[in-house]
């Protein structure tokens, strides 16, 4: 990934409870890590010689969104996302089975993570505020 010309952001529904927002960011972060393992830096050591796991090599801003904004972005560019159906599942097998029975139009997205060309990401999200 060319860090100079690439960018990642997460857009999360600001109307969700704080715990669901945190969970949504965590789930999407894990998914991005699986899809983009090379963006996680090497482990580092502190002065005492204690090892610290590598972290992502660039910031991933979390932006304020809502159901409509997230769905619009997703329609323009499909990337890892997190829906109400996924949030309600206790096991991955349950998630698989429920997804087989639902149409995309019936999903409510809690968030979307997008990575790609900085120009394209800025065009989609450049005017959005940080989620605080």
Q: Is residue 131 included in any domain, yes or no?
A: no
Structural domains counted in the chain: 1
Q: Is residue 1 included in any domain, yes or no?
A: no
Give the range of the structural domain holding residue 75, as residue numbers without chain letter. 6-125
CATH number of the domain within which 87 lies: 3.40.1490.10
Q: Is residue 88 included in any domain, yes or no?
A: yes
Q: What is the pLDDT of residues 33-92, one digit of tens each?
A: 898 888 899 999 999 999 999 998 888 999 999 999 999 898 887 666 778 888 888 999
Residue range 85-100: mean pLDDT, rounded: 90
User: Could you tell me the two tokens for 39?
Assistant: 């963006």
* Amino acid 80: pLDDT: 63
User: Could you tell me the two tokens for 8?
Assistant: 């990642």
Q: Which of 131, 111, 115 is nearest to 39 (CA)?
A: 115
The answer to whether the beta carbons of residues 13 and 67 sit under 8 Å apart is yes
Q: Is residue 130 included in any domain, yes or no?
A: no
Q: Is the per-residue pLDDT at 108 higher than 70?
A: yes
Decide: helix, strand or coil at residue 102: coil
């Amino acid at each position: 990934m060319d860090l100079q010309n690439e960018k990642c952001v997460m857009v999360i529904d600001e109307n969700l409870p704080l715990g669901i927002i945190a969970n949504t960011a965590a789930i999407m972060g894990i998914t991005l890590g699986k899809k983009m393992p090379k963006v996680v830096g090497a482990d580092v050591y502190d002065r005492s010689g204690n090892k610290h796991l590598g972290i992502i090599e660039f910031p991933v801003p979390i932006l304020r969104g809502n159901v409509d904004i997230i769905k619009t972005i997703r329609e323009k560019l499909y990337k890892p996302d997190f829906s109400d159906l996924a949030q309600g599942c206790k096991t991955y097998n349950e998630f698989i089975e429920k997804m087989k029975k639902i149409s995309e139009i019936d999903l409510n997205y809690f968030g979307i993570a997008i990575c790609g060309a900085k120009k394209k990401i800025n065009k989609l999200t450049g005017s959005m505020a940080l989620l605080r």
